Amino acid sequence: DSSTSRGLGDVYKRQVLVIPRGLARVGTTPDGRPGMAWTSKYASVGMNAVGKPILVDGLNERGLAVGLFYFPGSAGYMPYTPADAPRTMAAWELGSYILENFATVAEARAGLAQVVLPAVVLAEWKFAPEVHFIIHDEAGNSVVVEPLDGKLVIHDAPLGVVTNSPRYDWHMTNLRNYVNFSPLNAAPVQLGPVKLTGFGQGSGMVGLPGDFTPPSRFVRAVAFSQAVLPSLLPTGREAVLQAYHLLNNFDIPKGVAREHEKDAHGNPVADYTLWTSAADLKARRYHVRTYDNSAIRSLDLMAQPLDAKEIRRFPVTGPEVIQP
């Protein structure tokens, strides 16, 4: 999972949070009425944003993981009336709701049928963020959850990959444009008396889209994740490190993807990778690195006081350390 910024600066106040069991929650509604109320059944760990006590991505004590992804121009939130308030929450609260209430993808799928997810303005940004989600469980099941045309649509995600817009089923259809790709090098081609061979390793994926648009990143994520050798993943530690090797290919440096306009301080409005996380669903460990510090830091959820009375917060600020 990689989370990106669009030049919104310090509004992305973020920390690693441990959410305990027994925490009382109330969802946010468009008209300010109290939304859905719940008490966290399961403890969870992950990263927050804009200083809120909710998780943008993370995992829970039962090995369920959730990631929130930007979904601009594609989200079609559900209609809302005051009578819907007891079932309503804001989109940015849905990830925590899932982690705190469900143990498997199947449970989450069933539970989401009770949720009303309308457009709710996030005060810190002054607009309603358009987002969608991916959910994974320890058994290897994955689904993508999208607000589309006034409904909450759940797609089976057998490849376990999601990026951003457009909708998930479009990305899966787009994969058919790349059926010729292979991790195996292309065989030589004989053209009459001339034999053409590739210049080197990787010829099976010549033409793989390398830009930072969501469709291209989706294709690369599928290609790379499907090509990993199982023999390289004997333990959770090796799997996490391999995940970071894959995610290196999606690290967006500041400045390479930017808008034409500038912000109030005259700075370009640019995407860049704020943090990259990996969840070990068997060991219940959350791993994260940030734009400012590429060292991988981890937190063992099961070593935390899961019945604590309040949220535990762990800062992720600090510079890169260059070893001599």
Residue 268 in this model has a pLDDT that exceeds 90: no
Residue 269 has pLDDT above 60, yes or no: yes
Closest CA to 30 of 148, 122, 132, 133: 122
Q: What is the pLDDT of residue 10?
A: 44
Name residue, tokens 């969802």: 27
Q: Report percent pLDDT > 90 for the chain.
A: 87
Mean pLDDT of 123-131: 95
| Measured distance CA(258)–CA(89) in Å, rounded | 32
Q: pLDDT-derived band of residue 5, with 50, 70 and 90 as boundaries? A: low
Instruction: Give 271's Cβ-side CA count (13 Å radius).
Output: 15
pLDDT at site 7: 41
CB 17 within 8 A of CB 96: no
CA 162 to chain centre: 8
pLDDT band at 233 (very low <50, low <70, confident <90, very high): confident
pLDDT of 153 above 60: yes
Whose CA is closest to 39, among 56, 27, 57, 48? 27
Strand partners, 67: 57, 134
Long-range contacts of 20-27 (CB under 8 A, 24+ apart): 20/305, 20/306, 20/307, 20/308, 20/309, 20/310, 20/311, 20/312, 21/306, 21/307, 22/307, 23/100, 23/311, 25/93, 25/96, 25/97, 25/100, 27/88, 27/89, 27/90, 27/93, 27/97
Mean pLDDT of 130-157: 98
Measure the CA–CA gap between 117 and 95, rounded to whole angstroms: 12
- Token pair in block for residue 165: 């817009």
Is the preceding omega at residue 268 within 30 degrees of 0, hence cis? Answer: no
Q: How far apart are CA 81 and CA 214, in angstroms?
A: 33
pTM of the predicted structure, to 2 decimals: 0.94
**In the prediction, which pLDDT does 230 show?**
85
pLDDT confidence of residue 4: 65
The answer, yes or no, to whether residue 243 has pLDDT greater than 90, is yes
Q: What is the token pair recorded at 227?
A: 């090509």
Give the range among 111-115, 205-209, 267-271 with minimum mean pLDDT. 267-271
Please state, rounded to an integer, the average pLDDT across all residues of the chain: 94
Buried b (16+ CB within 10 A) or exposed e, 254-283: eeeebeeeeeeeeeeebbbbbbbbbbbbeb
